[in-house]
Structure 1
Amino acid sequence: MSFTRSLLACAAACALLSAAPPFVSAAFAGDKSGVDQTSFDKAVAPGADFWTYANGEWVKAHPIPADRNSYGKSAVMVEEAAKRTVDLIQTAAKAGGAGDGQKVGDYYASYMDEAGIEAKGTAPLKAGLARIAAIKDKTALAGVLGGNLRADVDALNSTDFYTDNVLGLWASPAFDDTTKYAPFLLQGGLGMPDRQYYVGDSASMQEARTKYQAHIAKILTLGGIADAEAKAARIMALETRLAQASGSRADSADVQKANNSWTPADFAAKAPGLDWKAFFAAAGLSDQPRFIVWHPTMVTGLGKVAADESLDTWKDYLTFHLLDHYSNLLPKAFVDERFAFYGTALQGTPQLAARWKRGVNSTNAVLGDAVGQLYVAKYFPAQSKAEVSAMVDTMKVAFEKRIDSLDWMAPETKAEAHRKVDVLKVGVGYPDKWRDYSGLKVVRGDALGNFQRSEVFDYQTTLAKLGKAVDRGEWVMTPQTVNAVNLPMLNGLNFPAAILQAPNFDASYDAAANYGATGATIGHEISHSFDDQGAQFDSQGRLRNWWTPSDFDHFQKAGTALALQFDGYKPFPDLAVNGKQTLSENIADVAGLAAALDAYHASLGGKPAPVIDGLTGDQRFFLAYAQSWLTYARPAALRQALVTDGHAPAQYRALTVRNLDAWYAAFQIKPGDPLYLSPEQRVKVW
């Protein structure tokens, strides 16, 4: 999950651990290896390409389905979760009744009513289009832009909507005050995934710009807008100006650059050109004493573009984005055109996903907790929650022991590191408190209106948080999500139920596989509190340097070495992995895998690991880890990820094993093997 979407802070400190407690053993009685040997490509040596050795035969046997841009075992888990979820939703749709179950059923049934959506055409957007047409001056423009402000939340597992309002509002504790929620403003305004698509000079970026301008013209034409091609050119020019002012991926990940506290008066002084008083009044933010402006260059640029561009161009821009934003809830021609650009042109996906899959995604995005309650009641028993919770305890202790063993870290730095581990609030499976949807109106037969009301509901929920005490138990993922997250400013972790299932986790597996897959995931998320971003926050979630100068210098040198290691992975002749862009995730992978291996060894209680299916314990551990990264993408999707994603491609994340000495012993990796790193080249961060 991206950093700016997941930084939530905690408001509580805790006492220093005087000593690490003994390991809490998360023992598993199962005797299955948990490793799929039918996936092995034995024509490839482990020391040549460990990911392909572990997964090659599976990849050969499973081409990417036509409706996906990537595939793998995690995608199979997502599909299984979707199948389970649609059954629950359809049952709710048939049952009727009242409460959240009825809202789930009505929302999904409305989304699936293609005939009803087709019959309405663009009529559901009549009021929005009229509001844009009525803009007569720059004050009115500011009012519409502010009125369009929405909560910047990830619609996880949903590809239905891009965030394309000029700014997004995010409620989080401020960097210097972790007791109350403050308003953060984040950059937006772009229809393509990243500023690089507008300013990059590569052939693929130039092609994307040409196709995007054609997409703008097509959407306008479908919406009955005259002179579409000329207007598309002007819209593209406006967005390019916004992109040029926008922060880069590196800027967005640098919290020091994001720590900008502005009063309302600062906006007129630092970003003149937009009527900020009208903007904030329309956004319901007039009473806020200050804002944290994550991307100041874009806000300043927005003021300039608001002043310089004609009202007519702004009105065309707003018209296009209104139509494009809701196109998946408009007639089929809009749906097909949106997919042709965002799905096929940008990611190489040849076929639109089935309507029911998109309906599940949209329902999860809007009523995720309501669906999640149904999901965990049927598919996540208390035993699973207890077993994973025990693993979490084991992993926390393993990490604490690793802190104690660091010979380069000063006692005062270790003390705060221990506090950070101790204060971690870990959610397993589902939140302690479910979201209240009583304020959300869902009307059967009003698909687009239902989604619009959900956006307003989310926004009002965000506004209501501002100035209030922080809820450390807040979740940002639904239980049916195949993912996990660290919340650095909350010092919290979320492990949704759907990722805590086979093949990642199964109580019938031997401990090696469970620790190699799920244990490494847990370790990864814990380690995010200590990656290049999370390490800048103390145990209370404050942005504060708690390191001695020499300790931080050592830490940064390790990060630099890891970034260089990943810079060497080159999926395309003209495009490599960006080691700096992916550094946070790579640090968490290295530290998490090392802690998971420690925890696995400790779980053996001093006894030798059994040999199962001819594999030693350490072999099963590392193979389970490599198989947890069994994901592969279409070339276009991989290119997009290399530009926009903070995660390295899965096949390279599996190669994290190169940094652990035990991997070399387990598979007899020798100097001269392509993946061999000399001991001094192996990166040890924590």
Structure 2
Amino acid sequence: MKKVIIGSLCASLIVGLSACNNDAVKTVESPTPAPSKTETAIAVETALTSGIEFENFDKSVRPQDDFYSYVNGTWVEKTTIPSDRTSSGAFYDLREKSRDDVKAIIEAVAATPNLKAGSDEQKVADLYRSFMDVDTLNKLGVTPIQGELAKVSAIKSKDELVAYFAHSQVVGGSTPMAFYIDVDAKNSSRYATHIWQYGLSLPEKDYYFNQEERFVNIRKAFVAHIEKMYALAGFAEPKASAEAVLALETAIAEQHWDVVETRDSTKTYNLYQVKDLPTLAPDINWTGYLAALGADKQADIIINQPSYISGLNEVIKNTDLNTWKTYMQWQVLTNAATSLTEALNDEHFEFFSKTLNGQEEQRPRWKRGVASVNSLLGEVVGKVYVKHHFAPEAKVRMQTLVENLRGAYGDSIESLEWMSASTKVAAKDKLAKFNPKIGYPDRWENYDKLKIKADDFFGNNVRASQLSHEKSLEKLGGPIRTWEWAMTPQTVNAYYNPTMNEIVFPAAILQPPFFNMDADDAVNYGGIGAVIGHEMGHGFDDQGAKFDGEGNMRDWWTEQDLKEFSLRGKALIEQYDNYAVFDDLNVNGQLTLGENIGDLSGVTIAYRAYKKSLNGQEAPVIDGLTGDQRFFIGFTQIWRTKMKEEALRNRVATDPHSPAQFRSLGALSNMPAFYTTFDVKEGDAMYIAPEKRVKIW
């Protein structure tokens, strides 16, 4: 269910004035000059490479016009997206490597004889077997979901329907209301219950209403998909049922907040007393709903989108019970599809992966099996993963980088001309309280209560969902679990959590091109340094800046400082609104504002930290590149990405991250040091007039 996490990933030159002209650019293109004896001595002493992947460069592109293509263009041109994927790139390729590494761990466990019943090893082995045993899944057919379907059929009233919503979520299903437990954004010392809008099969509300041909065709394909799924499952009246599902989901979608509204932390914090919920939605059976969730003793609850709940109330009231049962029947079937027969799994893939995202072929079954193990038993595998793939010295080096970035961020805050002294004090207090988590948890998740059976993949998923819900309920009234992670060590990503004021970097992202133990500091500051800075930047983006160092959402800004901050955010929105992804589609600057602030802050602070790390010394020239050149190239090569058009269009519509090329171009176009390093001048495509460049932190 919804988790309140913001963000997840993404001076003069040392060699003198001559490095600021196009000859310097030629040096980047053709790093062939023979090193001097001094440079050779430095290279031997450091024994470090540049970490730059020169084979990816496109020398036909001027770096001043399109630095992303200059650094990554040949890679983009030569790369073919594998048929079982919708994307390739630094992030995606590392995820494939992580999957391979986890597969080796699983297979080694599965090959171990006489595993003790109930042990973590038995659970990993049998969970993987339960997914890979296609013969058993095909033989079972839809038998595993008959119990849930019977519960749907037995619903006799709207009150029972709402209570079933709660039950369905506990066992892993989807319903129009998503209940979850997380830290209270205005009282970070306690956990609170929340309800988030939910219940749609298509990616976002606009998919139900947009009249462009692409969206019309998606809706037609969606109805055809439901009809096929119903037919495969042996349900009656598949065509009429499919049309009824689309109609009801459209009514639900009409009440949804859009993607921009839902990322507004202020708007989505609405604390209600449970006794007052009937005033918000009188036809929703709140007593039965909360009782079925096991949360009926709570005095209050945070409703993230109140108008959605009021609107849902009307949809429940005005839609006949049989239509609702048809909808819930669909939710049971579609959520279980990947846990049932090959035929249902394949049809699920045809619509959600192929039609919506352009994926040509199913991933090999073993890859999906690994994903299931990561999902249900992620930290069991993670414990083994870090032993084999995360060196202790990598953690030490990362800790140093984090503290250097923290120091640079503090210097930057102090130097801000637009911010008052009182706001700077609050900002630096928050910065000092950032809690970095690197590599893996200090305290691992316990799976003792989870029963895993080798011949019951659907049941394994249900039991895992029930246990997860039970553990979530245990948080209520208890201390904040600062040791918990929202990602496993084998996840290639990073995140910032505002209510805990923590920045988190799993082990799997700490690899080239993000983090290269054999490369010099320049490329690492440009890569993982910018990622660290990005996550720190989320603490000070348009939403993160609403939270203080204790994780409480409160106003710590002066009125004038907030106005100045907002003006800079508005300028960034306008900049990204003008980036064309396709001829008919631009970046949504408002939706991506937080991530764009993170990117700009991240690379800006990482550059400041890199320069500070030199202690006034000149960086060595490595592979013909200055330190500043390596820094900016290192930053840009982490964003290399190639994506299917369908997938990219969906991402632009729903994802708060800008497409990869603009994460590089947008941030660097605002950095004076980039202009100096690569001699960017008026008339160049990346040029922005100095007075229009955005500097926030």
TM-score (norm 2): 0.92
In 2, distance between residues paired with 1:49 and 1:636? 24
2:675 alignment counterpart: 664
1:69-108 alignment runs, 5 A limit: 69-95=86-112, 97-98=115-116, 99-108=119-128
Which amino acid in the other structure matches residue 337 of structure 1? E
Bigger Rg, which one: 2
Q: Deviations over 1:105-144 (max 9, x none)?
A: 1111111111111111111111111111111122221221
Asked if 1:116 is matched to 2:136, the reply is yes
Of the structure 1 ranges 502-511 and 38-47, higher mean CA displacement relative to structure 2 is found in 502-511
1:121-520 alignment runs, 5 A limit: 121-150=141-170, 164-520=174-530
Asked if 1:683 is matched to 2:694, the reply is yes
Q: Is the 8 A contact 1:258 1:293 kept in 2?
A: yes
Which amino acid in the other structure matches residue 83 of structure 1? D
In 1, distance between residues paired with 2:381 and 2:46? 32
**1:76 CA drift (Å):** 1.2
In 1, distance between residues paired with 2:688 and 2:475? 49
1:609 alignment counterpart: 619
Q: Deviations over 1:577-602 (max 9, x none)?
A: 00010000000111111110011111
Q: Is the 8 A contact 1:324 1:338 kept in 2?
A: yes
Of the structure 1 ranges 292-301 and 476-485, higher mean CA displacement relative to structure 2 is found in 292-301
Asked if 1:33 is matched to 2:44, the reply is no
In 2, distance between residues paired with 1:416 and 1:29? 40
Q: Is the 8 A contact 1:150 1:169 kept in 2?
A: no
Q: Is the 8 A contact 2:6 2:538 kept in 1?
A: no
In 2, distance between residues paired with 1:299 and 1:489? 24
**1:7 CA drift (Å):** 5.8
Q: Is the 8 A contact 1:395 1:519 kept in 2?
A: yes
In 2, distance between residues paired with 1:530 and 1:476? 20
Q: Is the 8 A contact 1:178 1:542 kept in 2?
A: yes
Of the structure 1 ranges 259-268 and 523-532, higher mean CA displacement relative to structure 2 is found in 259-268
Which amino acid in the other structure matches residue 82 of structure 1? R
Q: Is the 8 A contact 2:4 2:497 kept in 1?
A: no
Which amino acid in the other structure matches residue 6 of structure 1? I
Q: How many residues align?
A: 656
In 1, distance between residues paired with 2:471 and 2:4? 16
Q: Is the 8 A contact 1:425 1:472 kept in 2?
A: no
User: Tell me, what secondary structure is at the counterpart of 2:696?
Assistant: coil
Which amino acid in the other structure matches residue 684 of structure 1? K
1:45 alignment counterpart: 62
Q: Deviations over 1:335-377 (max 9, x none)?
A: 1111111111111111111111111111111111111101001
2:5 alignment counterpart: 6
In 1, distance between residues paired with 2:60 and 2:537? 35
CA RMSD of aligned residues (A): 1.6
2:572 alignment counterpart: 562
2:531 alignment counterpart: 521
Q: Is the 8 A contact 1:274 1:304 kept in 2?
A: no
In 2, distance between residues paired with 1:3 and 1:674? 40
The list of structure 1 runs, each at least 4 consecutive aligned residues, that deviate by more than 6 angstroms after superposition, is none
Which amino acid in the other structure matches residue 111 of structure 1? F
Q: Summarize the Cα distance change of 1:489–1:30 in structure 2 as closer, same or farther, 3 Å threshold.
A: farther
Q: Is the 8 A contact 1:523 1:592 kept in 2?
A: yes
User: Tell me, what secondary structure is at the counterpart of 2:582?
Assistant: coil
Q: Is the 8 A contact 2:168 2:174 kept in 1?
A: no
1:543 alignment counterpart: 553
User: Tell me, what secondary structure is at the counterpart of 1:495?
Assistant: strand
**1:250 CA drift (Å):** 1.2
TM-score (norm 1): 0.94
1:63 alignment counterpart: 80
User: Tell me, what secondary structure is at the counterpart of 2:580?
Assistant: coil
User: Tell me, what secondary structure is at the counterpart of 1:675?
Assistant: coil
Q: Is the 8 A contact 1:47 1:673 kept in 2?
A: yes
Q: Is the 8 A contact 1:3 1:253 kept in 2?
A: no
Identity, in percent, stands at 38
In 1, distance between residues paired with 2:64 and 2:423? 37
In 1, distance between residues paired with 2:469 and 2:682? 57
Q: Deviations over 1:39-93 (max 9, x none)?
A: 0000011111111110011122211111111111221111111000000011112
In 2, distance between residues paired with 1:269 and 1:535? 33
**1:467 CA drift (Å):** 2.1
Q: Is the 8 A contact 2:3 2:182 kept in 1?
A: no
List gaps (5 residues or longer) in structure 1. 9-27, 152-160
In 1, distance between residues paired with 2:293 and 2:311? 19
**1:260 CA drift (Å):** 0.7
User: Tell me, what secondary structure is at the counterpart of 1:673?
Assistant: coil
